[in-house]
Amino acid sequence: MGDGDTKVELARRGFEAVQRGELEPIARLFADDVRRHGGEPSAPGACRSREDALAVIRAAIERGAVGELVDAVDAGDQVVVVMRPAPSVGRGGTDPVANLTTFRDGKVVEMVHFPDPAEALAAARRPATGRPDRL
């Protein structure tokens, strides 16, 4: 992934690499201390490192649970990555979900999962001071 790529391009290429089962490109995109969670960084199951996040992604690849990329929306220093879960996940539907992905210095530093893409878009529009999950 090149230095001139936009955050949206980086997010798209990272997701596409995961769809192909390739972890190396996404590993290079993640900061060492990347956080991945559902709104509470200290919750059980939250990722607090590149290794944690890659383990979750690796498990999703192995389960066939990656799904498809629907859209990647530019939100300044963030990208809202909208995806449709794979039918094999068994969560009772394939309505889109989203990750609000924060970049710093060309690296992903945080991914916050939202069950509703509209919630992720709304969170991206909130001022930084109103978002406790923000670095």
Answering whether pTM is above 0.85, one says: yes
Residue 90 lies in a domain: yes
pLDDT tens, residue by residue, 70-84: 999 999 999 999 999
84 to 9, 17, 76, 104, 106: CA distances (angstroms) = 18, 16, 23, 26, 25
pLDDT at 94: 78
pLDDT tens, residue by residue, 5-22: 899 999 999 999 999 999
Residue 59 lies in a domain: yes
The helix/strand/coil state of 39 is: coil
Q: Determine the structural domain holding residue 90 and report its residue range.
A: 7-125
pLDDT at 90: 57
Residue 133 lies in a domain: no
Provide the CATH number for the domain around residue 35. Answer: 3.10.450.50
Residue 131 lies in a domain: no
pLDDT at 133 over 80: no
Model confidence at 2, pLDDT cuts 50, 70, 90, reads low
Residue 132 lies in a domain: no
Residue 70 lies in a domain: yes
pLDDT tens, residue by residue, 18-68: 999 999 999 999 999 999 999 999 999 999 999 999 999 999 999 998 999
The domain total for the chain is 1
Model confidence at 135, pLDDT cuts 50, 70, 90, reads very low
Residue 1 lies in a domain: no
- Paired with 75 in beta bridges are 78
Cα(10)–Cα(131) distance, integer angstroms = 24
Model confidence at 132, pLDDT cuts 50, 70, 90, reads very low
